[in-house]
Amino acid sequence: MKQKNEQIHTTKLLTYLLIGLIGVLGLLCLYYGSSFAPGSRRSDNTGSRLDGSDPVFGGFSRNRDLDDLLDEQGHYPEVPKSIPICDIKYSELIPCLDRNLIYQLKLKPNLTVMEHYERHCPPPERRYNCLIPPPRGYKIPIRWPASRDEVWKANIPHTHLAEEKSDQHWMVVDGEKIKFPGGGTHFHDGADKYITGLAQMLKFPGDKLHNGGSIRNVLDVGCGVASFGAYLLPLDIIAMSLAPNDVHENQIQFALERGIPSTLGVLGTKRLPYPSRSFELAHCSRCRIDWLQRDGILLLELDRLLRPGGYFAYSSPEAYEQDPENRKIWNAMYNLLKRMCWKVAVKRGQTVIWAKPLSNSCYLKRDPGTRPPLCSSGDDPDASWNVSMKACITPYSAKMHKERWSGLLPWPQRLTTAPPRLEEIGVSPEEFHEDTVSF
C-alpha cells in the first residue's frame, strides 16, 4: 500500500514536471514569438508576471491537465497518448555510456585504450522510450553560487567517493548534503591557491591566470569533481572538465549538480568533440593518463586542441618524484614533447607547464623522419565527431604561421570581434558583424 502511494506520488510529481516543461516551452514560444513580432515590446509579456508568481510553475501551466493537452493532439496519431516512466533502476541511465549495453551486445571494447568509456549507442530496438525518474527524495538543486560548495545528497545518492578521497578533501558527507571543500589530489590547500600558483609560475600580471583575457578556454582532463573548473569561473575563465564514468562513481554527476561545466569523456581512441585550436590551456592534475602510449597519440590530441602558444599544466608524480620509475617516464615524456616542439615554460614544485609552439618554424627544422610526423594535408583537424585520433602533429595554416598567433583578441572583446579562422572557411568579418547584430 505504501509503495503504491509512493508510486502515485511519483507519477503525480512527474506529471507536474512534464506540464511545467510544456509550460516553459509555451512561454519560450510566446516570448520569442512576440519579441520578434513587428512593433511588439518585450515588456508586454513580462507584465503578467509582476504578481510575483513563479514564471515557470506559476500561472496557467499548472491548471492544464496533461490529458486535455494530449486530447487536443488526438488527430496526430503518431503522438503517444502517454509516455511510460522507466523503472527506478534506470534513474542514472546514460544511453550511450551504458556498461550493461556493452556487455549485452557482446561488444569487445579494447580496455587498454579505454574504449569501454567511449560512446556506444544502443540500436533503435534497444532504446528505452520512457521518462527517466528522479532518484527518491529528489530536491530542487541548490542554486549557484552556493552549489559550488554543497549539493543535496538525495539528488546524487553516492557517498563512496567521499570516503575514498577523504584524505584529499574532495568532498564530505554532512547530513542531508554533500559538501565540497575545494580540495584535490594536488591541491590540498584548495583549488584557488593552486590556480594562483599557476599564474605566479607563468608570471602573469597580478597573479591572475586569465592574463588580461588571453586565457579563457581551459580543458581539464581527469577532472575529478571539477573543483579546478569551479574556482576558475569567478576568474572569468571557463573550463570544460572531462572525466570518464569509471571505477569511481560518476564524478561528472557531482560536477553538473554543482553547476560546473563538464562532460563525460575520455582520451581513448576518438578525438574529443572540439575543433582544433579550441583551448588556451589544458590541465591534468594526477589524471592517471599514460601519455606515452601509442606514440604519444593522447598528447598529440591535446596538441590538436591547443591554440598557438597554448599551455599544458601537468601536476603529477612523474613531474617531481625522483625515483627511477618516475624519472624514466619524465625523461620519455620530455623527449616526446621536445620532438613535438613543446617547451617547458616553467617547472616548480609538483607542477610543470609546457607551451606549444607559436608557428611551424620548429616543425620545419626537425630532422627528416622525426616522429611523430606532421599530419598529411588531407587531414581535417576540425573534424571531430566519431573521428579516430591520429598520431601526428597538426601544423598551422600559412597565415597563422606568419602571424605566430591565433589572431584572437582577449576576452571579452573576442566575443564581438570576428575570429580570423572564420575567414579561412569563407565567412567575412562583415557577415560576422551582421550576424552579431541579429543574434
Ligand X SMILES: *[C@@H]1O[C@H](CO)[C@@H](O)[C@H](O)[C@H]1NC(C)=O
Q: By CB under 6 A, name the binding residues for ligand X.
A: 110, 112-113, 121, 294, 386
Q: Minimum distance from CB of 96 to ligand X (Å)?
A: 8
Q: State which residue, 225 or 298, has the beta carbon closest to ligand X.
A: 298
Q: State which residue, 98 or 280, has the beta carbon closest to ligand X.
A: 98
Q: Minimum distance from CB of 400 to ligand X (Å)?
A: 29
Q: State which residue, 183 or 268, has the beta carbon closest to ligand X.
A: 268
Q: State which residue, 386 or 416, has the beta carbon closest to ligand X.
A: 386
The separation between the first and the last C-alpha atoms of the chain, rounded to the nearest angstrom, is 54
Question: Residue written as cell 589524471?
Answer: 287
- Alpha carbon distance 130, 339 (integer Å): 52
Helix H or strand E encompassing 173: strand 172-174
For residue 241, the cross-strand partners are: 220, 262
Q: Minimum distance from CB of 107 to ligand X (Å)?
A: 12
Q: Minimum distance from CB of 130 to ligand X (Å)?
A: 22
Helix, strand and coil percent figures for the chain, each rounded to 5: 40, 15, 45
- Alpha carbon distance 209, 33 (integer Å): 42
Q: Cell for 194?
A: 593552486
- Alpha carbon distance 436, 211 (integer Å): 26
Q: Return the number of other C-beta atoms located less than 10 Å from residue 293's C-beta.
A: 14
Q: Minimum distance from CB of 121 to ligand X (Å)?
A: 6
Q: Minimum distance from CB of 104 to ligand X (Å)?
A: 18
Q: Minimum distance from CB of 371 to ligand X (Å)?
A: 16
- Alpha carbon distance 309, 355 (integer Å): 6
Q: Minimum distance from CB of 323 to ligand X (Å)?
A: 26
DSSP annotation of 100: H
Q: Minimum distance from CB of 112 to ligand X (Å)?
A: 5
- Alpha carbon distance 315, 351 (integer Å): 4
Q: State which residue, 110 or 331, has the beta carbon closest to ligand X.
A: 110
Q: State which residue, 386 or 436, has the beta carbon closest to ligand X.
A: 386
Q: State which residue, 238 or 387, has the beta carbon closest to ligand X.
A: 387
Q: Minimum distance from CB of 293 to ligand X (Å)?
A: 7
Q: State which residue, 97 or 281, has the beta carbon closest to ligand X.
A: 97
Task: List the one residue out of 415, 407, 335 whose CA is nearest residue 370.
Answer: 335
For residue 314, the cross-strand partners are: 284, 352
| Residue spans of alpha helices (H) in 149-307 | 160-164, 191-201, 227-232, 251-258, 293-305
- Alpha carbon distance 198, 28 (integer Å): 42
Q: State which residue, 346 or 391, has the beta carbon closest to ligand X.
A: 391
* DSSP per-residue codes, 394-419: -PPPHHHHHHTS--PPPTTGGGGS--
Q: State which residue, 345 or 387, has the beta carbon closest to ligand X.
A: 387
Question: Residue written as cell 571505477?
Answer: 247
For residue 239, the cross-strand partners are: 218
